[in-house]
């Protein structure tokens, strides 16, 4: 379990992370979302013990992280710009990480290198951005750590490779209690993998909730009323968070108990009614009512 309590970090006059309190459960995928400059990378560096918070507390499994090598054996940090030794090959990086992580699985590394079709003897400096991302993920999975901190890890991977990496994460979660924490500025990258999502805005935590809890309270409904029915009174009672009308079809996003909402809408004797799944984008657009915040900035 990871706990952050009132964590703040300044760089001169800039407040990079502002009083963030966060609880990350084991065995779930946590997505940390925010625009560039929102504080995601700084927060992950504090989780990794690279930076010391100016104030507040960060603990991983009850241990303080900063200057604690024993605690750092429990996680692998993949930064946005992954670091590799000058002129090193993948095999040389693997040998280095073997000295850092007691549970490093060399056979897993060799298997993944073969499956990803990366040249183990080639200098990493000659790899493309996507290949470097793949190598970072391979090295991280082979480290066999309980947690992995991923900073824009899917950036630079093609769609097929992204799905492959997500499948590997899911398998490790099943096999060994693996917990990935994935930071991204792109909601759609995390749409099909996250259990819990936190939204950073100007260094502060705007929202951190389990997606199932959010989805259970917000519903997307398409409905068509008969031509002789005026739905204005019903819509006023529904108080939709979002409303769109195309021809006779209304698309509503409403909050509340699903059965109660359905009962209310049936009062309008609709000729068609359907409940649709909400996308992560729609969930956040309707869940964040902060003045001046445009969540669409973080969606490609």
Q: Tens digits of per-residue pLDDT, 66-84?
A: 999 999 999 999 998 888 9
Q: Tell me: pLDDT of 214 over 60.
A: yes
Q: Tell me: pLDDT of 58 over 80.
A: yes
Q: Tell me: pLDDT of 276 over 80.
A: yes
- What Cα–Cα distance (Å) separates residue 112 from each residue in 90, 142, 238? 12, 9, 52
Tokens found for residue 83: 């670091």
- The gap between the terminal CA atoms of the chain, to the nearest Å, is 32
Low-confidence winner among 6-10, 79-83, 110-114, 170-174 (lowest mean pLDDT): 79-83
Q: Tell me: pLDDT of 292 over 70.
A: no
The predicted-structure confidence for 176-210, as pLDDT tens digits, reads as follows: 989 999 998 877 778 788 889 888 888 888 778 88
Instruction: Judge whether 5 and 21 are in contact, CB under 8 Å.
Output: yes
Q: Tell me: pLDDT of 299 over 90.
A: no
What pLDDT shows up at residue 290?
A: 43
What pLDDT shows up at residue 128?
A: 92
* CATH number belonging to domain 2-210: 3.40.50.300
Nearest to 44 by CA among 80, 68, 5, 6: 80
Domain boundaries of the chain, sorted by first residue: 2-210, 216-298
Fold of 216-298: Alpha-Beta Plaits (3.30.70)
For the chain, what percent of residues have pLDDT higher than 90?
61
Q: Tell me: pLDDT of 96 over 50.
A: yes
Low-confidence winner among 82-91, 133-142, 277-286 (lowest mean pLDDT): 277-286
- What Cα–Cα distance (Å) separates residue 42 from each residue in 38, 145, 284, 298? 9, 21, 23, 18
Task: Kindly report the average pLDDT of the chain as a whole number.
Answer: 88
């Amino acid at each position: 379990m990871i706990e952050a309590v009132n964590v703040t970090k300044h760089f001169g006059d800039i407040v990079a992370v502002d009083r963030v309190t966060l609880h990350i459960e084991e065995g779930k995928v946590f997505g940390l979302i925010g625009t560039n400059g929102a504080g995601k990378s700084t927060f992950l560096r504090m989780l990794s013990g690279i930076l010391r918070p100016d104030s507040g507390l960060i603990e991983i499994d009850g241990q303080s992280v900063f200057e604690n090598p024993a605690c750092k054996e429990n996680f692998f940090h993949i930064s946005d710009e992954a670091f590799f030794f000058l002129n090193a090959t993948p095999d040389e990086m693997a040998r280095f990480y073997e000295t850092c992580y007691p549970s490093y699985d060399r056979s897993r590394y060799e298997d993944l290198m073969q499956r990803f079709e990366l040249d183990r003897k080639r200098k990493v400096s000659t790899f493309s951005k996507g290949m470097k991302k793949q190598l970072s993920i391979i090295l991280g999975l082979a480290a066999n750590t309980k947690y992995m901190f991923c900073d824009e890890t899917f950036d630079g991977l093609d769609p097929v490779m992204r799905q492959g990496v997500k499948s590997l994460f899911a398998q490790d979660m099943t096999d060994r209690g693996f917990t990935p924490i994935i930071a991204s500025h792109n909601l759609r990258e995390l749409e099909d993998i996250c259990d819990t999502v936190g939204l950073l805005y100007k260094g502060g935590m705007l929202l951190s909730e389990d997606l199932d809890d959010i989805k259970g309270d917000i519903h997307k409904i398409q409905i068509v009323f008969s031509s002789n029915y005026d739905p204005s009174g019903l819509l006023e009672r529904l108080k939709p968070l979002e409303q769109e009308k195309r021809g006779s079809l209304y698309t509503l996003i409403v909050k509340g108990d699903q059965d109660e909402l359905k009962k209310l809408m049936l009062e309008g004797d609709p000729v068609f009614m359907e409940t649709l799944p909400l996308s992560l984008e729609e969930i956040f657009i309707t869940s964040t009512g902060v003045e001046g915040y445009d969540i669409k900035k973080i969606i490609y």
